[in-house]
Amino acid sequence: MGRLLSGLLTFLLLAMLAGGGLLVWGYAQFTRPGPLQTETALVIPRGSGVEGIARRLEQAGILRYPELFMAAVKLKGVSGALKAGEYAFKPGISPREVMALLQSGETVVRRLTIAEGLTVRQIAVQLAAVEGLDGDPAPLPPEGALLPETYHFSYGDERAEILRRMQHAMRETLDRLWESRAPNLPFDTREEALVLASIVERETAIPSERPRVAAVFVNRLRKGMRLQSDPTVIYGLSDGLGTLDRPLLRVDLQKDHPYNTYTRDGLPPAPICNPGRDSLRAVLNPISSDEYYFVADGSGGHAFARTLDEHNANVRRWRQFQREQRQ
């Protein structure tokens, strides 16, 4: 602050001695294009003060005369109106435009895309690695509580606040889709729909397959068949991480735990990931289908079947494909 006052007094004294000539020069410099050559993003930290802001702008090549900028801010009485945050400064931006931008608070909008099918723990790891966010996301919400999509944020936003926005988006989306659900579904609550959608999400990464996969599981539930979903077994074995560092083995399918849909009837006790809108929509409005089985087909998708005999034939083709790939 001492340097600011000293610079301001010097500026005013010289202006008076020069009979106003310096004021004319100062106004010209304040309004003319600045020295910045390329668009530059710069963070103005909280509590920087006018002098700290001016020096940071000078170091970034945005201001040529920081003392002139400080004097103008003081004369206009907007010292307390300059807002912290990350700003994008265009090439040639003038000091007057810089001052207006910092007053506007129009900070850089960043994007964070959360992929469908991640677990809460995986999303927390992703959030922790995002540059520009502050704080710890803990405590983590329950599995399935977060809606995967693209979220916008500003530098310095809290990770916990991003998580709250994801939770709100999931609640709002699930409530809206639940109101338009098909009649006679084989589950009674939003929570059960969320569980089934999470299984559909992990079973296929192909959007066009989700309604068909959802229909298979809906058909199985209606008939009292076990879901027999590999991703549910993996979730239980991985303690909620959602991935294993090895292939799933046949013996794994025989290990009983709450998430093993090979050994237990009905839905698992909770979601196994955070499903997207398409998977939620698929289980709440399933297509009409008489299929009860599906298995990988070697192309990234699945072969579907109505009967066990058809399914076994598809399984044999899948295993033959695997043998050929190993050879």
HSE on the CB side for 69, CA within 13 Å? Answer: 27
pLDDT at 123: 96
Confidence of residue 319 (pLDDT cuts 50, 70, 90): confident
Is it the case that residue 12 has pLDDT exceeding 80?
no
Neighbour count for residue 238 (Cβ, 10 Å): 16
More confident residue, 83 or 327: 83
Residue 120: its H or E element: helix 120-128
pLDDT: is 240 or 256 the higher one? 256
- CA dist list (Å): 179 to 105, 143, 171, 182, 285: 39, 22, 12, 9, 11
Torsion of CA 29, 34, 35, 39, to 10 degrees: 170
pLDDT band at 270 (very low <50, low <70, confident <90, very high): very high
Confirm if 139 and 128 have CB atoms less than 8 A apart.
no
Mean per-residue pLDDT of the chain = 91
Q: How confident is the model at residue 149 (pLDDT cuts 50, 70, 90)?
A: very high
* pLDDT bucket at 217, cuts 50 / 70 / 90: very high
Give residue 22's pLDDT: 59
pLDDT at 23: 65
Contact yes or no for 257/236 (Cβ under 8 A): yes
- For residue range 13-40, what is the model confidence (pLDDT) as tens digits? 445 445 455 566 767 788 899 999 999 9
3-state class of 223 per DSSP?
helix
CA distance between the termini of the chain: 75
Query: DSSP label at 297?
Result: -
Least confident of 174-178, 187-191, 223-227, 237-241: 237-241
Distance between CA atoms of 242 and 233, rounded to whole angstroms?
9
pTM exceeds 0.85, yes or no:
no
Q: What's the pLDDT tens digit per position in 194-203?
A: 999 999 999 9
* Residue 290 amino acid letter: D
Average pLDDT over residues 297-311: 91
Pairing of strands 293-296, 302-305: antiparallel
Helix (H) or strand (E) holding 193: helix 190-203
pLDDT at 326: 80
Q: What percent of the chain has pLDDT over 90?
A: 80
